[in-house]
Amino acid sequence: MFEVFKKELKELLRDKKTLIFIVALPVAIFPLLFAVMAFISSQATLEAEQKVHTYAIINGEYAQSFTDKVFYHKSFQLYKGEHTFNTVAELTQAVKAGTIDMGIFLPADAKQNLDDAKQSQWQVVYNDAKAINFLFDRVKELAEEFGNNLRAEKLLSYGVSVEQQSAIIDPIKVVKVDTADKRENLGEKIGGFIPYLLIPLVLMGATYPAIDLGAGEKERGTLETLLLTPITRTQLVLGKFITLLAASIATTTITVLSMGIWISIAITFIDLDVVKTAFSSLRVLDLTLIFIILLPVAAIFSSLSLAISIYARSFKEAQNYMTPLSMGVIFPIIVALLPNVELTAKTAFIPVTNVALAIKEIIKGTIDYTLLGLIFLATVIVAGALLAFCVKWFNKEAVLFR
């Protein structure tokens, strides 16, 4: 068995393409991830701050202080073209034509309406489908500020002080007392995406070598030579399995170490508060737990990949079979991302989903070690069953020589 392992390991180390997937990709994926996050975040912020939108306002004299604030706002520029606008329909047509980005219609004097005990309804015309929703929010904020000032002045004229106004307008103030710390809060939001990245890399570390160890041997005609050697088929398949497991564990080790190293670099040099808050309290113990929980997953993927590769007639056919396997692994990870799907005694026995949930809980810092033990035990049992199936599969002539 160990002779087979040494033989397969030597061939594996000679294959540059496989080494790229086992070593280079796990090392490169995290710096690329953080670089893309930093770039997208900075570009989106910069674009949002620098972009100036053209607007037109009708009846701006009805709320002069509001009109002045919109005029001097850094995000807005008053339309100075030849077109004139008098109705909401004309503003709508201008926005659709791209003449202006936004139109504001003030139907009447807001102060006079308040004196007459009427509510003034202002209309903001813009294209909500163009991802510039903040236009409405900014105008609404300025309008609410103007409305609050009107209300305060009116109440003062009735003899209601500022303190009394606060109590009357908002008699009950509900204050949130969050029992979750920042790590748990952000870990819940972004921790689910870590297994979405880790687990497919562990699968990749097993599938690419497996294709060569099974279907590749058939295609090269070397499988028959191996079967003639004085070792049992069980020893032969176990030797191949250990090789795949070693490759997958190597990928797991490199992936977890790479994640830890690049996270420490990211929270030191990259100005991303979300990343810093979520990962600054991530300990070596947490990374170790993630590594340990991924080990039986690596065994599961190694067994499945080897069984598929043994069944395939050729290298290409094995590659075609690995695609559904990848999709089948992604689905239970997505289940772990769904709202209200939490780590419980029931979900602890769902393969892959349980590991994804456990990794999220580790990132959050709220892992239940009893459930973690159950997950490890359940995953080991599944891995053992799949390995037994793989051995039985390899002992069938109908499978080896299809």
Could you tell me the pLDDT band of residue 99, with boundaries at 50, 70 and 90? very high
The mean pLDDT of the chain is 81
Question: Tokens in use for 103?
Answer: 């139109």
Q: Please, is 27 exposed, middle or buried when counting C-beta atoms within 10 Å of its C-beta (0-12, 13-18, 19+)?
A: middle
Q: Are 130 and 203 contained in the same domain?
A: no
Shared-domain flag, residues 165 and 186: no
Q: Is the pLDDT of residue 214 over 90?
A: no
Buried b (16+ CB within 10 A) or exposed e, 80-106: eeeeebeeeebbbebbeeebbbbbbbb
pLDDT at 357 over 60: yes
pLDDT over 80 at 44, yes or no? no
Residue 87, pLDDT above cutoff 70: yes
Predicted confidence at residue 105, as pLDDT, reads 95
**Which of residues 213 and 33 earns the better pLDDT score?**
213
First to last CA, the chain: 25
87 and 135 together in one domain: yes
- Spatial distance between the Cα atoms of 73 and 6, rounded to a whole number of angstroms: 70
Q: Where in the sequence is the domain holding 107, given as residue range(s)?
A: 53-169
Q: Are residues 266 and 149 in the same domain?
A: no
Last residue of a domain, one of 142, 169, 196: 169
174 in a structural domain: no
Distance CA 116, CA 109 (A): 11
- Tell me what percent of the residues of the chain surpass a pLDDT of 90: 23
Residue 396 lies in a domain: yes
Query: Does 264 share its domain with 149?
Result: no
Q: Which of 5, 3, 2 is nearest to 240 (CA)?
A: 5
Residues 57 and 124 in one domain: yes
Whether residue 176 lies inside any domain: the answer is: no
Q: Rounded to whole angstroms, how far apart are CA atoms 300 and 304?
A: 6
CB under 8 A, 24+ apart: contacts of 380-384? 380/296, 380/299, 382/296, 382/300, 382/351, 383/296, 383/297, 383/299, 383/300, 383/303
Q: What is the pLDDT of residue 118?
A: 86
Q: Which tens digit of pLDDT belongs to each residue from 140-187?
A: 999 999 999 998 888 888 888 888 888 888 888 888 776 766 777 767
Which H helix or E strand runs over 16? Answer: helix 16-19
Tell me the pLDDT band of 226, cut-offs 50, 70 and 90.
confident
Q: Is residue 43 part of a domain?
A: no
Residue 271 pLDDT level (bands cut at 50, 70, 90): low
Model's pTM, two decimal places? 0.62
Burial of 107 (0-12, 13-18, 19+ CB in 10 A): middle
Domain count, the chain: 2
pLDDT value, residue 39? 65
Tell me the C-alpha distance between 251 and 291, whole Å. 11
- Regarding whether 217 and 306 lie in a shared domain, the answer is yes
